[in-house]
Structure 1
């Protein structure tokens, strides 16, 4: 397996870099690309869904971005220790009927020694918004 820096144990700087790399990848909305950041047997909980492995991650992300259109995400480091990172995030998207949502959540991440995420647990809440209430537009600009 090819290492995926930054590698654990994390420092403040490397944890922030890992979070930004995740945000950047998810904002591509490319399930194949995003899945490469996870171990072959990565274990996920996303809302009320539980699944394991890259093929299931790709299938989940494909479904997600087919219904969450114009998805734009912001992640922020909450805390880190050794091989774990906690983040909070917001994203906005609209459904195929044009209804907009802002979703708020927290994630717990656990990494293997090669910097691949072996475990991801996400709790997420959705809030309906009007299009003019949007505040996240595409990937973050440096």
Structure 2
């Protein structure tokens, strides 16, 4: 992912977003953390932290709680060293009886020009229960379906 560096074009911004999507779908905190500078600043919902160790700790806790996690990211906007992303992910919440949820959100990324790594990540997201009881009715990212093949449009809101 770090080989795609600012200044971004539409093509390279899209590639950066899909590389991030694919990296996050590995659910490997140590590997994912390598896409960020050692002092990267994060906001994830109401959590604020920075640095590789904090990122690894956050992602480890996240994926211990969010089972069967599957993510899709799409380019929203970009400038020469910043990218805005719209995302959706589904998971079973281990802290809520393994009920299925989907998170909708936006991320604002800023990149270090020399390394190509992200130096700031700001995320806002909201979860909804899938199905009236969290059974997963209405899931998009079911087993055997590539997240890229799911048609996401206004009829899904």
What's the TM-score, normalizing by structure 1? 0.94
The answer for the alignment partner of 2:45 in structure 1 is 47
Provide the rounded CA distance (Å) in 2 between the counterparts of 1:95 and 1:44. 22
The answer for the alignment partner of 2:124 in structure 1 is 123
The alignment covers a number of residue pairs equal to 140
Pairing partner for 1:33 from 28, 31, 34: 31
Q: Shift in Å at residue 55 of structure 1?
A: 0.4
What's the TM-score, normalizing by structure 2? 0.85
Q: Point out 4+ residue stretches in structure 1 off by more than 3 angstroms.
A: 137-142
The answer for the alignment partner of 2:91 in structure 1 is 93
Deviations 1:91-112 (A, max 9, x none): 0001122201000000000000
Between structure 1 and structure 2, the one with the greater Rg is 2
The answer for the alignment partner of 2:153 in structure 1 is none
Higher relative contact order (CA 8 A, sep 6+): 1
Gaps of 5+ in 2: 150-157
Q: Shift in Å at residue 141 of structure 1?
A: 5.7
Report the aligned-residue RMSD. Answer: 1.4
Provide the rounded CA distance (Å) in 2 between the counterparts of 1:137 and 1:12. 30
